[in-house]
Amino acid sequence: MGRFDGRVVVITGAGAGIGRDSALAFAREGAAVAVLEVRAVRAEQTAELVRQAGGTAVAFPCDVRDGVQVEQAIAAVAERFGRIDVLFNNAGTTRPGDVVSVSIEDWDMVLDVNLRGTFLVSRAVLPQMLALGGGAVINMGSVDGLAGDARMAAYNAAKAAVVNLTRSMAIDFGPRGVRVNCICPGLVGTPAVLRMFSDESRQRMQAVTPLGRIGRPGDIASLAVFLASDDAAYINGTTVVADGGLMARTGMPI
């Protein structure tokens, strides 16, 4: 018996990295997984990996920035599976730049994927959960939503908003049986991060992280499974930092 037998989990941005590992992790616990991903090929690749591992998954190509696509995708999930128990708002992106150098297009992209996408998918899924009498939502934040980094203005702003949106959702929907929590990872070695950061940059990050390594996608997937499970039944409106101890440091020179 798995912790999610008979339950349906929607994961956005599930075509790679944390989303893909999360799809596999939830499926191992018995969940049927709806794989939402803007790139149809990657969505189907993740769904096929879940099926090859003995799980149940269906790909639903969807751009989380597009309200019509989101509504259609969630309606299709509900029609296919008959219910939605868990939502993991994992889709995200970043573009570098301070408030002078970042382009308006990049600013809009980062805010739309990270914040608007979380809003739109939650808006579409929550009525399904409320009809069941409850559920669990996990929003993807970041340590960049709790502290600032140079040339990350759009990402810092978007993730800080997601952290506080999580609190608002928890207050509004907790009384109706829906728990809402936020995960704030540090640097995680997803394909996108590995492309973005040089080996030297990753080594510097490892050197200042007390655990001596950057995160793995599976580290965050395991946390998402826990927060969505009945084992976390009294956890609501909280932000869980998973950064290997990075934020435990003051940053003061020794």
- Give tens-digit pLDDT for 96-109: 999 999 999 999 99
pLDDT for the residue 196: 84
Angle between helix 153-173 and 104-111 (nearest 10)? 30
Residue with tokens 């979380």: 118
* 212 is a domain residue: no
Mean pLDDT, rounded, for 33-38: 98
Mean pLDDT, rounded, for 74-85: 98
Q: How confident is the model at residue 228 (pLDDT cuts 50, 70, 90)?
A: very high
| Of 208, 242, 228, residue with least CA distance to 11 | 228
Strand, coil or helix: 239: strand
pLDDT of 253 > 80? The answer is no
Residues 6 or more apart whose CB falls under 8 angstroms from that of 161 comprise 111, 114, 115, 145
* 2 is a domain residue: no
H helix intervals, 63-177: 67-81, 104-111, 117-132, 153-173
* pLDDT tens for each residue of 45-73: 999 999 999 999 999 999 999 999 999 99
- Whether 20 contacts 217, CB under 8 Å: yes
**Range of 120's domain?**
8-188+217-240
Q: What is the largest CA-CA distance in the chain?
A: 58
pLDDT for the residue 28: 98
* pLDDT tens for each residue of 115-125: 999 999 999 99
pLDDT of 43 > 90? The answer is yes
Cβ of 146: how many Cβ atoms within 10 Å? 17
Handedness of CA 8, 164, 94, 102 (dihedral sign): positive
Q: How many CA atoms lie within 13 A of 244 on its CB side?
A: 18
* 233 is a domain residue: yes
* 246 is a domain residue: no
pLDDT for the residue 129: 98
* 155 is a domain residue: yes
pLDDT of 251 > 90? The answer is no
Please tell me the distance from the alpha carbon of residue 118 to that of residue 121, in angstroms, as a whole number: 6
* 140 is a domain residue: yes
* 88 is a domain residue: yes
Please tell me the distance from the alpha carbon of residue 241 to that of residue 39, in angstroms, as a whole number: 29
Please tell me the distance from the alpha carbon of residue 141 to that of residue 134, in angstroms, as a whole number: 22
Q: How confident is the model at residue 111 (pLDDT cuts 50, 70, 90)?
A: very high
Q: How confident is the model at residue 90 (pLDDT cuts 50, 70, 90)?
A: very high
* pLDDT tens for each residue of 155-214: 999 999 999 999 999 999 999 999 999 999 999 999 988 888 888 988 999 999 999 999
- What is the model's pTM? 0.98
Mean pLDDT across the chain: 97
What is the number of domains present in the chain? 1
pLDDT for the residue 10: 99
pLDDT of 93 > 90? The answer is yes
Among all residues, which ones are annotated catalytic?
A: 155
| Edge-to-edge strand list for the sheet holding 178-185 | 56-61, 32-37, 8-12, 86-89, 135-140, 178-185, 239-242
CATH number of the domain enclosing 21: 3.40.50.720
* 211 is a domain residue: no
